[in-house]
Structure 1
């Protein structure tokens, strides 16, 4: 049954039978009750094979509709097995979600992008030119520090353009859209757009799954749940996330180190980009991506070198990294304090998982530029292809749908979102300090540290 069925006779298989085809070498999915064999397509899928693998052996209709335009349905017949899903039915919440999606499509909202991209690029040009001008034309150390901060704000706005271009076409053609991705990501920010899409697609499909969502896997620095103490295996990185003595120590103080680490979180993105581009995995347009990264690592060090001394150079770099840390904090606010789970995403509650795993940030319309669409995280996760200029307008409709089905529509102020995130980190930190919860014995721990932990338990009476 693993091969393609050529018979045109309508026949059906059960959901239990479909669930057996959930491996990379035998990958079937259901869309609108039709069964498709996408085993050979997985390695060519523009969004990577992980989204397909995470939903393998299930009905993936909601996710497919969320991430693909109607035109994509025309290609499905190439993978049709001839089988239909037995007793196929959809829940009320999925039905209402699909109606809302069709409504937005009929209104042309997915094609109307407004002037957000133009104004964002204009702001980027002002920030970049101001930073460069200050470096070249001023001798004031204070001005140079401010220029570093402007560079950080420039990277933040560049990140929003990269994020948007990865979800939908921000330019008139695919070629120009690809140019925008490489320019905003690789050339201007030093981050591989290919790595980001690989990571971000997995995050969206498996939102807040501790073992499938890479955006929650930050051991040894942070954990958002005590479930990480059992050293769970990351299905994204394909390795065990060891909660050893070093991780226990760092996590024990994570609510204090959160903001300082976020100031330098960009270093991790640089490292992940290089690991991705020089890995053995298939990387689309690898040479193009590497050349784009090379552009960044030429212009940014060159700009820094024009500062008069090493002290000002270091402060400039720290200022640019620290300001960009605001964006890394924003990434965490939307998910760290929300509901988490272990295991692959289930298509049967796809809508529910997207809503309970995300948090909106309340802000005035004039501050939308600052949050880049992340302030409407619930709407973005439900309709990832929707240009961010429409997220505010659809918010009441999404809120009403959540209320109708008894689902949470989580939204708090920026300040409260920070408080909730820190509380989540603090709760996990206090649990990590509990030495009665031993480190798993199957981990190799430096003997002196193991002895120290053992002695501490004896003296504490645990």
Structure 2
């Protein structure tokens, strides 16, 4: 009966916002998810970041209709001052419309063709190494291997956001095969990082995809040695960081050419860490498979010169993907503090930008040319992004929100411009940090 209902105020909800005491609100109902956090498929980061808030928009973005049935076990009361903004109403209507149209389930034949394509380019790289003695062929094969890693990365990204295969078990097999076995990075690590990025898009202290000190800083706010709440450590802006950031607009592309090495290293650090890693054994076996076949393939090249050349070519081509990751966020709006469940739509549109390209180039960008659409509807198969893009534009226009779309080259110029601005600010000696001899030598006489 109505009189027996328990009502909870927003002030009371906000008090339950820490590990060991997690409450959230979804569509006016309050749920105690304290014990669920360790079993949450998306990890603990989303629940910890959004604890004590209404998270309806984020919930409908990430969860299919079947997930609503699981909420009843955690229900504890009703939010007495529940309010929905006009933006959220329109956003939720879009999600509902897409669900009725079956867009979240209709994946087309893109996955099948992509799998065939990556298998073909992988085989061509391996055959070129084993069947040819020509140095230029071997160099090309290194580039093709890098291109294979890029396209495999897009497939891994898809399979982590929605079920690309016929069953969850087959989908998991595809993740480990594509991610761990063939490209050498941990899908478990990537999902942990990527969930944190999506939930706290472009938060300087909560989004791990912006936390690249000492190499890069997209905002002068990093000069205050912020604390990373994702990694749980201080991002010190010392003399080394100042020196590296001061030239980041020059080092950006060279670093991207070898950025894959960081993914390899992060996989080992993640799997050997003490943190809870779901299906750690599968992840480790997959990584070991990669570090078996790839060194064996490289060893088939006739000399060390060609081996190094092959590896560098594969890393450099893969750098295109790492640049793509940065373009959509480095020059977009940033903020400090935790994500807010009440401005989900606004934060996603302000923190991302789209890359303009013809439809026949969609395969190259892996769907991330529609970064805004992807962040708003992360479960939506990439084959639908171009179709729903006009609807998202109209909604942004209706609520006077930015919808930024640039060509690939314009996005590169804007990213370099952002890095250059921060670099020049880092050189400002009116905010000194302890200097070393290298800093003094490079910056003497300007």
Which category of TM-score, normalised to the shorter sequence, fits these structures? over 0.9
Deviations 1:163-194 (Å, cap 9, x if unpaired)?
Answer: 00000000000000001100110000000000
Q: Secondary structure at the match of 1:19?
A: helix
For residues 207 and 287 of structure 1, the distance between their equivalents in structure 2, rounded to whole angstroms, comes to 30
Measured after TM superposition, the shift of residue 423 of structure 1 is: 0.2
Structure 1 residue 388 and structure 2 residue 379: aligned? no
C-alpha contact (below 8 Å) 2:239/2:439 kept by paired residues: no
Equivalent position of 2:149 in the other structure: 155
Structure 1 residue 404 and structure 2 residue 389: aligned? no
Structure 1 residue 54 and structure 2 residue 75: aligned? no
C-alpha contact (below 8 Å) 2:29/2:78 kept by paired residues: yes
Q: Secondary structure at the match of 1:40?
A: coil
For residues 3 and 407 of structure 2, the distance between their equivalents in structure 1, rounded to whole angstroms, comes to 56
Q: 4+ residue runs of structure 1 moved beyond 2 angstroms?
A: 447-453
Match of 1:24 among 19, 24, 27: 19
Measured after TM superposition, the shift of residue 11 of structure 1 is: 2.1
Equivalent position of 1:38 in the other structure: 33
Could you say if the C-alpha distance between residues 8 and 383 of structure 1 is closer, same or farther in structure 2, counting changes exceeding 3 Å? farther
Measured after TM superposition, the shift of residue 451 of structure 1 is: 10
Deviations 1:180-217 (Å, cap 9, x if unpaired)?
Answer: 10011000000000000000000000000000000000
Match of 2:59 among 61, 64, 68: 64
Equivalent position of 1:4 in the other structure: none
Deviations 1:414-440 (Å, cap 9, x if unpaired)?
Answer: 00000000000000000001111123x
Measured after TM superposition, the shift of residue 448 of structure 1 is: 5.0
For residues 114 and 438 of structure 1, the distance between their equivalents in structure 2, rounded to whole angstroms, comes to 56
C-alpha contact (below 8 Å) 1:245/1:449 kept by paired residues: no
C-alpha contact (below 8 Å) 2:25/2:31 kept by paired residues: yes
Equivalent position of 2:326 in the other structure: 332
Deviations 1:384-429 (Å, cap 9, x if unpaired)?
Answer: 0000000110000000010000001110000000000000000000
For residues 279 and 228 of structure 1, the distance between their equivalents in structure 2, rounded to whole angstroms, comes to 27
Equivalent position of 1:264 in the other structure: 258
Match of 1:185 among 179, 185, 190: 179
Structure 1 residue 358 and structure 2 residue 355: aligned? no
Match of 1:281 among 275, 288, 302: 275
User: Which sections of structure 1, spanning at least 5 residues, go unmatched?
Assistant: 1-6, 440-444
Match of 1:126 among 113, 120, 123: 120
For residues 358 and 366 of structure 2, the distance between their equivalents in structure 1, rounded to whole angstroms, comes to 13
Deviations 1:66-85 (Å, cap 9, x if unpaired)?
Answer: 0000100000011111x211
Could you say if the C-alpha distance between residues 451 and 58 of structure 1 is closer, same or farther in structure 2, counting changes exceeding 3 Å? same
For residues 201 and 192 of structure 1, the distance between their equivalents in structure 2, rounded to whole angstroms, comes to 14
Deviations 1:43-102 (Å, cap 9, x if unpaired)?
Answer: 111111011111000000000000000100000011111x21112110000000000100
C-alpha contact (below 8 Å) 1:252/1:429 kept by paired residues: yes
For residues 136 and 4 of structure 2, the distance between their equivalents in structure 1, rounded to whole angstroms, comes to 76
C-alpha contact (below 8 Å) 2:239/2:436 kept by paired residues: no
Measured after TM superposition, the shift of residue 115 of structure 1 is: 1.0
* TM-score, scaled relative to structure 1: 0.94
C-alpha contact (below 8 Å) 1:233/1:239 kept by paired residues: yes
Could you say if the C-alpha distance between residues 32 and 146 of structure 1 is closer, same or farther in structure 2, counting changes exceeding 3 Å? same
Deviations 1:332-387 (Å, cap 9, x if unpaired)?
Answer: 00100000000000111111000000010000000000000100000000000000
For residues 193 and 281 of structure 1, the distance between their equivalents in structure 2, rounded to whole angstroms, comes to 15
Equivalent position of 1:414 in the other structure: 408
For residues 146 and 413 of structure 1, the distance between their equivalents in structure 2, rounded to whole angstroms, comes to 28
Q: Secondary structure at the match of 1:44?
A: coil
Measured after TM superposition, the shift of residue 8 of structure 1 is: 9.4
For residues 185 and 437 of structure 1, the distance between their equivalents in structure 2, rounded to whole angstroms, comes to 43
Measured after TM superposition, the shift of residue 9 of structure 1 is: 2.4
Measured after TM superposition, the shift of residue 450 of structure 1 is: 10
For residues 443 and 338 of structure 2, the distance between their equivalents in structure 1, rounded to whole angstroms, comes to 38
For residues 115 and 6 of structure 2, the distance between their equivalents in structure 1, rounded to whole angstroms, comes to 53
* TM-score, scaled relative to structure 2: 0.97
Structure 1 residue 313 and structure 2 residue 322: aligned? no
C-alpha contact (below 8 Å) 1:150/1:320 kept by paired residues: yes
User: Which sections of structure 2, spanning at least 5 residues, go unmatched?
Assistant: none
Could you say if the C-alpha distance between residues 88 and 245 of structure 1 is closer, same or farther in structure 2, counting changes exceeding 3 Å? same
Aligned ranges 1:138-149 → 2 under 5 Å: 138-149=132-143
